[in-house]
Structure 1
Amino acid sequence: MKKHLIGMAVLAASASVTCAHAQSSVTIYGSMDAGLAYVSDVGGSSVTRLDQGTMQPDRIGFRGSEDLGGGMKAFFQLEAGFATDTGSQVNAGRLFNRYATVGLSGSLGSVTVGNMPDIVFDYAGKLSNGFQLTNFYLFHPGNLDTLANTYQFNNAVRYTSPTVKGLTFSAMAGMGEQAESSSRNRNLSAGANYANGPLRMALAYSRQNDRAAGYSGAFLSTLNLGNAATVFDSLTTWAGGVGYIVGDWRLNALYTQSEVEMPAAAGFKQRNGDLGAAWRYAPQLTLNLGYSHSRVEDARYNQFSIGNVYAFSKRTEFYVVAAYQKAGGSASLAFQNYTGASSDDKQVVTTIGLHHLF
């Protein structure tokens, strides 16, 4: 009798495990993009090179969920950035530098913990020219507003509300984990996103304490701001944008403002505005047009872009893009994202390439 009961228990456990597996899913996904690029002026000379991640960042990821019953799910995401042109990691010290998260979702919303981008990127960034027009060069000089998703929040906790009539709210905090100061290395972000039919709107806020200047440092070194700090005391960003689809046109407008506080030097602000349009003029062809204006104190940058995308399929695209920037005011050097500083106030970059999703 005991053997019979034990056998029944084993069968029940096996059935339970099988059921749980049937209600679980794991997806492997990614993006690879490489193109031949020409930059008119980098430090006084033109450059021809193979660029990666122009239309979308090169990455590989794992995403999964499990139905726990009662409307509750567990989920995870792991995502690593890499460079198609060299095969190297984007960040040698972090394998899953883009996402490493686990969480729970239910009728009251979701809670996510781990390493992830801030809400400025997640909500407002998707209305930027860099994202909507699928061109990495169009993110703003220095990427101070983090729209290019190069600065994730570590040790973060995020809450996202249920979506009600297209409206969603989110808030998150990245713990600094410093015993001597609760504010040191701490990151905060919040925002709201509205998506209903052809209309999308977003408003988002982010504050990062003691953030490394990183890529921004190369841009700031071209300006006379009184201090070439490698670490900011704080970086605060506000962003708001709107997108609308009408017929074969997708239109977007975005404004961001980033304020930097630096050690032993006066702070400064960067203001950016985007206007973009994507016209699908044939089933497989899309024309992208964009204009951006960036201002850092008295330094000004005007950027114009054009691109054409041919879709072989839903996953494979051939593209040709070009971007031109003109610096003005106190800015004597043009500096487009990912290209490096020009030797004068003008810079052109053109790329022809292939993008594949999997």
Structure 2
Amino acid sequence: MKSHLSIMAAVAALGSVAAASAQAQSNVTVYGSLDAGVAYINNLAGGAVTRLDQGTMQPDRIGFRGTEDLGGGMKALFQLEAGFATDTGNQVNAGRLFNRNATVGLQGSLGTVTLGNMPDIVFDYAGKLSNGFQLTNFYLFHPGNLDTLANTYQFNNAVRYTSPAFDGLTVSAMAGLGEQPGDASRNRNLSAGANYAQGPLRMVLAYSRQNNRAAGYAGAYLATLGRGNATTVFDSLTTWAGGAGYTVGDWRMNALYTQSRVAMPAAPGFTQKNADLGAAWRYGPRTTLNFGYTHTRLEGARYNQVSVSHVLAFSKRTEFYVQAAYQKAGGAAKFAFQNYTGASSDDKQLVTTIGLHHLF
């Protein structure tokens, strides 16, 4: 009996050591963001509206990420991230639990390989230099989000390689497999990019090509121009993006250009071009003023947008914000259409928001 108890005690002790070792070599983090604000839109389909908007400063999401040390400089890693709406509690995409990210991978001295569902490299590299990201205002992403900077479209069945950083330079390439027997190009997505970050300077160049993609989120915007709707399927959508960011003192500045070319199956294609200029001034230990200008062209349609916002940080995780964004449409564009607001009944639209953002 004593021998049996001794064996059990030894096994329990070994289990405790193994558990402690595993805990020391791996970690899992739960994280997320909740954001809600009262928004006033002066013209939405012909009338003013006050509503509760979610995800304005940052998208509402909950995620899990982790790594395990495999030894020899190798790590296993994973990430699961789901989008939801704070104002209703609904999933952003009812058909996908982890719609924003669901990946597993390996990281070593030669770089990182990840597999699964993930955003393209235009979002990952160029998106972080856009006014929508730098100035923390979702309304500032470009009409229709054809260039994917707002992460409303991810690559399924994707494989991505990211190099180690060489003197601040990182390069990435990825492919979303179409998985169509007999037609390797159908539904296939490709993306690549380079990111340079050294001291106060950051520069990016990124490319993305999506085949047979439904217009989806962009459908409402394209409908205002007679170019399609949510069910329209593009032959291809090709985006190039390049930009730079610089920090000097209390100022952070960004400039970005994107160009998205859409090929249609039974209609003429079109190109959307976007240019962002933005600046954020941290004039106090807890206060930031953001200023932005965006110019968008889609063939003969053009849009000019200006924005200003003020952010007060109560802590590292909780912020109060006041924002305003105004857009004027011109040329062939008869209706203003700011990202996320919806179409105006004329060529002007103003949206103001007062809200609260919390990270965990």
**Distance of aligned partners of 1:355 and 1:227 in 2 relative to their CA distance in 1, 3 Å threshold:** closer
Q: How does 1:1-358 map to 2 (within 5 A)?
A: 15-225=17-227, 230-358=232-360
**Distance of aligned partners of 1:82 and 1:241 in 2 relative to their CA distance in 1, 3 Å threshold:** same
Deviations 1:38-95 (A, max 9, x none): 0011111011100000000000000110111111100100000000000000000000
CA RMSD of aligned residues (A): 2.0
Q: Report deviation, 1:229.
A: 5.9
Runs of at least 4 residues off by over 2 Å: 3-18, 224-229
* Residue identity opposite 2:273 in structure 1: R
Q: Report deviation, 1:22.
A: 1.7
Question: Do the aligned residues in 2 keep the contact of 1:80 with 1:98 (CA within 8 Å)?
Answer: yes
Q: Report deviation, 1:205.
A: 0.2
Q: Tell me the distance in 1 between the aligned counterparts of 2:47 and 2:155.
A: 37
Deviations 1:141-187 (A, max 9, x none): 00000000000000000000001111100000000111131111110
Q: Report deviation, 1:225.
A: 3.8
Question: Do the aligned residues in 1 keep the contact of 2:303 with 2:328 (CA within 8 Å)?
Answer: yes
* Residue identity opposite 1:265 in structure 2: A
Q: Tell me the distance in 1 between the aligned counterparts of 2:287 and 2:332.
A: 40
**Distance of aligned partners of 1:226 and 1:129 in 2 relative to their CA distance in 1, 3 Å threshold:** closer
Question: Do the aligned residues in 2 keep the contact of 1:292 with 1:303 (CA within 8 Å)?
Answer: yes
Q: Tell me the distance in 1 between the aligned counterparts of 2:293 and 2:169.
A: 28
Q: Report deviation, 1:215.
A: 1.4
Q: Tell me the distance in 1 between the aligned counterparts of 2:353 and 2:160.
A: 37
Q: Report deviation, 1:228.
A: 8.1
* Residue identity opposite 1:59 in structure 2: R
List gaps (5 residues or longer) in structure 1. none
**Distance of aligned partners of 1:346 and 1:89 in 2 relative to their CA distance in 1, 3 Å threshold:** same
* Residue identity opposite 1:24 in structure 2: S
Q: Report deviation, 1:13.
A: 6.9
Q: Tell me the distance in 1 between the aligned counterparts of 2:129 and 2:151.
A: 13
* Residue identity opposite 2:269 in structure 1: G
Matched position secondary structure for 1:50:
strand
Q: Tell me the distance in 2 between the aligned counterparts of 1:329 and 1:228.
A: 24
Question: Do the aligned residues in 1 keep the contact of 2:34 with 2:86 (CA within 8 Å)?
Answer: yes
Farther-moved stretch of structure 1 (10-19 vs 185-194): 10-19
Percent of aligned positions with the same letter in both sequences?
77
Matched position secondary structure for 1:301:
strand
Farther-moved stretch of structure 1 (57-66 vs 16-25): 16-25
Matched position secondary structure for 1:22:
helix
Aligned length: 358
TM-score, normalised via structure 2 length = 0.96
**Distance of aligned partners of 1:72 and 1:228 in 2 relative to their CA distance in 1, 3 Å threshold:** closer
Q: Tell me the distance in 1 between the aligned counterparts of 2:230 and 2:25.
A: 53
